[in-house]
Amino acid sequence: MSPEGKKLLNIVILGFGFMFMFTAFQTCGNIEQTVIKSFNSTEFHGSGYTSMAIIYGVFSASNLIAPSVVTVIGPQLSMFFSGLLYSGYIAMFIYPYTWSFYTASVFVGIGAAVLWTAQGNVLAINSTDNTIGRNSGIFWALLQFSLFFGNLYIYCAWHGHDHITDKDRQTVFISLTVISLVGCFLFFLIRKPDPEPAPAEAAESLLQAESTESSSTASSPHSGLCTQALDAFVKACKMFGTNEMMLLSISIGYTGLELTFYSGVYGTCIGAMTQFGKDAKSLIGISGICIGIGEILGGGVFGMLNKCNRFGRNPVVLLGLITHFVAFYLIFLNIASDAPIAPEAGTDLQAYITPNLGVALLCSFLLGLGDSCFNTQLLSIIGFLFRDNSAPAFAVFKFIQSIMAALAFFYSNYLLLHWQLLILVVTGFLGSMTFFMAEGLAESTRRESDYDSI
């Protein structure tokens, strides 16, 4: 197999591994608040929103050390061990206790930081400037198939159920745990890509540098690992201060806020609308499928087909912003304001129009499509601007995204729907404007690179 073919195969395997893992985890996140409300045990007092806030809070803090972990043990083992922590969190729902619920949330936060930093590193080292957009799209589309399969299973398993029994819960979460473990073991199929040939005039100095580095590492291997880990940590901290990352931080923060909304809050809102009938709980699965279709479509069109390179990334982000604004307006009109914090019995309140299931599912699709627009372009621009320091760059990306997601899960316990939508609208507009500025810097960098290569 050619070196380029091997890199493409690595990206496909990476996508399938994440597809299996997040078929389990995203489905878990989408239904856990609804499941918790239906627990028969009075000894359990956890909150799905609080758990997610803990996960993303720990996730954000752990991103500061994640590059060091990936540097020391490598991206493959990093993803495998992180995946085991995800599987443990899902398995906890088979026999849940409050203490194990929140303890598992902490461990998943740590594992998530390492997992996504390693994923960014694998994506970057298996891509070039010409293939980073395509590879980002392939990975994103495969990842988002998880929303389709997991939520289809939930719909079939819970269709016709107005209450989730213990047996229903245990059957679902045993299945999800097995699916997550399959994804973990797929990471062992990823192979290290062949190194790119060095320019002839630099070959001699490169060999000398490698010889010096290998001899020093051989004389003190533990010292070498500590130095690498410290260097990765320092690079991640310094990257916060770069102009490009400061501009992208608002866009990244917005993806964290809307991640919380589409993956946790909106499904709960649909399940709480009694006007949608007694099958409203199973409609959470249908909503997740619609989100997944939007994500897959966006990842395929704007990433895998890579049709927008000649126009840059800005048109895709602008489309994502418009798509989200349309979805937010329709949700504001269609869903009751107290739906995010309604009890298990649901809400009988009505918004500004008669609740319409078709409009609600259209909004799910638009949320997924807009999210894919933002995320594929952020993956692409970060992989391009920070290709030589991909692990620290993606750690910073996930740090910002996860801390905003944690904040959103925290306020989702208290804020009515219209206030949550207002926060998303303001942050989305500001994030898009700063992304356009960052894309201008990226285009300048590309022109300088092209000029230097002449």
Q: Count up the domains in the chain and report the number.
A: 2
Considering the domain boundaries, does residue 47 fall inside one?
Answer: yes
This prediction's pTM: 0.74
pLDDT reported for residue 230:
65
Alpha carbons 32 and 288: distance in angstroms, whole number: 13
Same domain, 309 and 383: yes
* More confident position, 421 or 409: 421
Query: What CATH code is carried by the domain that includes residue 62?
Result: 1.20.1250.20
Alpha carbons 157 and 172: distance in angstroms, whole number: 8
Same domain, 180 and 285: no
Same domain, 38 and 157: yes
Q: From start to end of 98-189, where are the E strands? A: none
Per the CB < 8 A criterion, the answer to whether 85 and 179 are in contact is no
Q: What tokens does 189 get?
A: 């199929």
Report CA-CA distances (Å) from 50 to 127, 213, 408: 37, 47, 10
pLDDT digits (tens, 9 = 90+) for 11-60: 999 999 999 999 888 888 777 777 777 765 567 777 777 888 888 889 88
Alpha carbons 39 and 166: distance in angstroms, whole number: 7
Per-residue pLDDT for 326 more than 50?
yes
pLDDT reported for residue 87:
94
Alpha carbons 28 and 91: distance in angstroms, whole number: 10
Per the CB < 8 A criterion, the answer to whether 331 and 363 are in contact is yes
pLDDT, the chain, mean: 81
Same domain, 296 and 390: yes
pLDDT digits (tens, 9 = 90+) for 140-192: 778 878 877 877 877 777 766 666 777 878 888 898 999 999 999 999 998 88
Per the CB < 8 A criterion, the answer to whether 290 and 368 are in contact is yes
Same domain, 261 and 345: yes
Same domain, 177 and 249: no
Range of the domain at 248: 242-453
Question: pLDDT category, 229, cuts 50, 70, 90?
Answer: low
Gap between the terminal Cα atoms of the chain = 31
* More confident position, 385 or 181: 181
Same domain, 352 and 293: yes
Q: At what angle do helices 390-411 and 243-260 cross, to 10 degrees?
A: 40
Same domain, 64 and 139: yes
pLDDT reported for residue 197:
59
Which of 177, 192, 207 is the C-terminal boundary of a domain?
192
Q: What tokens does 150 get?
A: 């997991």
Same domain, 279 and 419: yes
Considering the domain boundaries, does residue 108 fall inside one?
Answer: yes
Exposure string for 218-227, b = 16+ CB within 10 A, e = fewer: eeeeeebeee
Same domain, 105 and 21: yes
Q: What tokens does 98 get?
A: 């409050």
